[in-house]
Structure 1
Amino acid sequence: MTRVHPGAFGTLVKGRRIASVTGTNGKTTTSHLLAAAIRAGLGTDAARLVTNADGANLHYGIASALAKAPKADLAVLETDERVVADLIAAGRPEVLVMLNFSRDQLDRNHEIKFLARSWREALERAGEAGPVVVANSDDPLITWAVEKARRVIWVDTPSKWSADAVLCPACGGILERVDPNPDEPQGRWDCPSCPLTEHSPDYQVRDGLIALPDGRVVDPQLKVPGSFNVSNAACALAAAVEMGVGVEDALRGFRTVEAPAGRFSVATFGDVSARLILSKNPAGWAESLALLSTPTVVLAIDAVAADGKDVSWLWDVDFEQLAGKHVVCTGPRAYDLAVRLEYAEVSHTVVLDLADALRAVTDAPQPVDLISTYTPFQKLLKMAGLR
């Protein structure tokens, strides 16, 4: 689309009510949740909504999705971090959801503060014409990036990963955690050297529930697993309400989402069934490893352009928590993972071919948990007939 018409992106994003979702992790699932919430709120007018549901979130992917629905006046757009500034300028989104910011594919994205600065500058340029931002208050880089937004809805989404939030993005000082309590075991973050600090939330996630601005507490009852998906749902809920959807309608829509773009689906490969979990970076792996429940697990690793070519991130992941399980390492970079597991003292075997690795776990309790980086995950979806 953009090769035939280089200006297609800018042309196609104009004249629609747009809700955009961005961040390092959770974009696809959050976009599916938000789209489902808006469909539930629209009822029979669901055809008005277009979304890039397969996760194609760069300029050409967004343009392609919009070109297929020229009459849709509502759009939920999963947006790559590098596209956010252009979308703010060209599309004037009504709502922009900013989930989190952490290291991801550093050979392509390099320093993440550079991207955050582009968001900050785009929001400042947009001024009063800019979007309402739904922002993760637990993330210092997100907080800094949205300081210039015209209005921010803060969502407290506790995370297992804080290694990319050590230094203050405003002044470079070392961030501190203050006021720990049973509800916030890590405490709120604060910079003692400048005014940047964690904001009081409008929406708050605690123990699998979502506290709303009016004091109500709701149980999302999601069909996708993990505490991180409750956080994704809280952000989607805040965005849906801002778009005019009622809370109950939004929650009803959430409960129709089961396996967004194949994530968390249980797929069959001959005599083996596997629950497929996509993880692309240390923060994602930190959350996904907590979901593993089977004694044998398969971990698939590659490092081509779509995965990020640098696999040094393996040493930032707490694979030690897999002690007591048996891990089958597969994919072109399986031996890199095996070295990391050796140091973690985790039992493992290496089966380079993905299909052979699945056959190697035929005797394990089914379904087998399988975590994969992006490229093997796409191959798995094709093998299972899910794509």
Structure 2
Amino acid sequence: MNSARRPPSIFGRARQQVAFAAGNAAALASRLTGRGTGASIKGAVMTRIDPTLFRRLLAGKRIGVVSGTNGKTTTTHLLAAALRESMADPRDVVTNADGANLREGVVSALSTRPKAPIAALEVDEQVVADVVRHGRPEVLVMLNFSRDQLDRHHEINALGRRWRQALEAAGEEGPTVVANVKDPLVAWAAQPARKIIWVDLGTEWSQDSALCPACGSVLVHDDSGHWDCPGCELSEREPDYRVDGDEVVMPDGDRLALKLQVPGRFNRGNAACALAAAVEMGVYPPVAVRGMRTVQAPAGRFAIGSYGDTRARLVLAKNPAGWAESLLVMQSDPVILAIDSLIADGTDVSWLWDVDYEQLAGRRVIATGPRSADLAVRLSYAEVEHEVIPDIAEALKGPFDGTVDVLATYSAFLRLGRMGGVDLK
């Protein structure tokens, strides 16, 4: 548990109140002008006025942190729900529910209930080291590393190195790490942690883990999918928690049925990580699962939007690993794929060639969004029947038989959410 928070001076309290007021005003302006929830601009204004807020708002809390390329928003929602279910007053748990996960987003979320004793925080991969250093979290969930927004994140090995260095620096005061046993870079980055809980998420993506992050040797995968490095001691460990169908197998062998409202095997894996983190923070496992079952559409993911006569289920994915898993939950015919390449998506869309669109063969596909022509080229090579409707609003006009599934990158997803009246928190 973190040490007690030092009370700010009279000047510090006054500056904090000014920062809160200015941030709230900026967030309101953002919402009124239709530019989003305002969480990020709120945090940016607040930290400009009081640069100490990030450190001071983290101090004195019990903190569970979730990070990784894919799944961190949903996993954070699941963890927050598990923690709230165990509390007499659910307001004692604060979280950044809208997915604003940079320093500004964390500050914005914590400012809503600065005295809340527990925080479940989604954190961008580049902010993990800062949160470990300043917040001393109890638990850090390390989900995965995958190529994503290459113009911003560059090499994922560099991110893994930063996480490892943060854990080395924290030493015995560092967090318990809940780590994806199937991801070699996660396994290597987690090594210095004082305690590691290994989780088998039950997913299969391995295209981002060809080389050993420790020594550079080519990793070997056996017939059962286990990985091993022939050049050093790095190897897949036995999991403490593992997903088996709709159940999580606990460390003692007991099984808990998940019965989640969010679809897909990747979300069952996310839930297993959230469960492990919640248990580490003192939540009784059945209570944690009961809380997680209340999560329906985290930050708009899997929500149903209305677009005139069309109802569409929105699915978000931003990189090859995310698309590979998300395509498995697309049930409608046709399927709409919406592609953009703004800063939030990553301007490099070459990753489209790493997605197995061949699995959509035999179904009608509508490619939409500013980069729909790029997607159409990839679909043509996959021999998938498709049509290109660049304007997203036009693509949704239909008519469609029942609810249509829409898989979208981040900017397109936000636009679809606003168009369809979806709550993005």
What range is the shorter-chain TM-score in?
over 0.9
| Equivalent of 1:219 in 254, 257, 266 | 257
Please give the alpha-carbon distance, in whole angstroms, between the structure 2 residues aligned to 1:316 and 1:49: 39
The answer to whether the 8 A contact 2:79-2:275 is kept is: yes
What is the one-letter code of the residue matched to 1:207?
Answer: G
Aligned identity (percent) is: 59
What does residue 35 of structure 1 align with?
A: 80
Aligned pair partner of 2:340 in 298, 302, 319: 302
Determine if the alignment matches structure 1 residue 139 to structure 2 residue 183: yes
**Structure 2: tracts of 5 or more residues without a match:** 1-45
1:96 alignment partner in structure 2: 140
For residue 329 of structure 2, give the secondary structure of its aligned residue in structure 1. Answer: coil
Give CA-to-partner distance per residue, 1:198-257, whole Å, 9 cap, x none: 111110112232100111011100000000000000000000001110011001101100
Amino acid at match of 1:337: L
**Corresponding residue SS for 1:298:** strand
Moved over 6 A (4+): none
**Cα distance, 1:6 vs. partner?**
2.1
Question: Which structure 2 residues correspond to residues 110-129 of structure 1 after superposition, within 5 A?
Answer: 110-129=154-173
SS state at 1:82 partner: helix
* 1:373 match: 409
Give me the CA root mean square deviation: 0.9
**CA contact under 8 A between 1:160 and 1:286: conserved in structure 2?**
no
Letter in 1 for 2:74: T
Residue 422 of structure 2: aligned partner: 386
**CA apart distance, 1:8:** 1.6
Q: Give, as a single letter, the amino acid of the residue that structure 2 aligns with 1:84.
A: V
Partners of 2:115 and 2:202 in 1: CA distance: 39
Match of 1:4 among 49, 67, 70: 49
User: 1:124-175 CA deviation, whole Å, 9 max, x = no partner?
Assistant: 0000000000001110000000100010011011323110011100000011
Letter in 2 for 1:317: V
* Matching residue's letter, 1:19: G
Cα distance between partner residues in 2 of 1:169 and 1:367: 43
Q: Is the 8 A contact 1:58 1:79 kept in 2?
A: yes
Match of residue 125 from structure 2: 81
Letter in 1 for 2:401: P
Q: For residues 405 and 309 of structure 2, what CA distance do their matches in structure 1 show?
A: 15
Structure 1 residue corresponding to 2:297, chosen from 234, 259, 268: 259
- 2:98 counterpart letter in structure 1: D
> TM-score, structure 2 length as denominator?
0.88
User: Distance between the aligned counterparts of 2:377 and 2:48, measured in 1?
Assistant: 43
- The 8 Å contact of residues 28 and 78 in structure 1, kept in 2 or not, is answered as yes
Task: Kindly indicate whether the alpha-carbon contact (under 8 Å) linking 2:306 and 2:421 is maintained by their aligned counterparts in 1.
Answer: no
Q: Distance in 2 between the 1:299 and 1:56 partners? A: 24
**Alignment length (residue pairs):** 378
Is 1:278 matched up with 2:316? yes
CA contact (8 A) 2:358 2:384 kept: yes
Q: Alpha-carbon deviation of 1:7?
A: 2.4
Contact residue 303 and residue 422 of structure 2 kept, 8 A:
no
2:13 corresponds in structure 1 to none
* Distance (Å, rounded) in 2 between the aligned partners of 1:341 and 1:160: 23
C-alpha separation in 1, matches of 2:169 and 2:183: 23
Residue 100 of structure 2 corresponds to residue 56 of structure 1: yes
Check the 8 A contact 1:296/1:327 in 2, yes or no.
yes
Deviations 1:257-297 (A, max 9, x none): 01101101111111001111000000000000111111201
- 2: distance between equivalents of 1:52 and 1:280? 20
With 231-240 and 157-166 compared, the bigger mean Cα shift is at 157-166
| Mapped contact 2:200–2:242 kept (Cα < 8 A) | yes
C-alpha separation in 1, matches of 2:331 and 2:93: 37
Q: Which runs of 5+ in 1 are unaligned?
A: none
Match of 1:197 in 2: 235
TM-score, normalised to structure 1, is: 0.96
Q: Secondary structure at the match of 1:290?
A: helix
What is the aligned counterpart of 2:373 among 324, 332, 335?
335
Q: Output the CA distance in 1 between the equivalents of 2:107 and 2:395.
A: 38
CA distance in 2, matches of 1:151, 1:50: 25
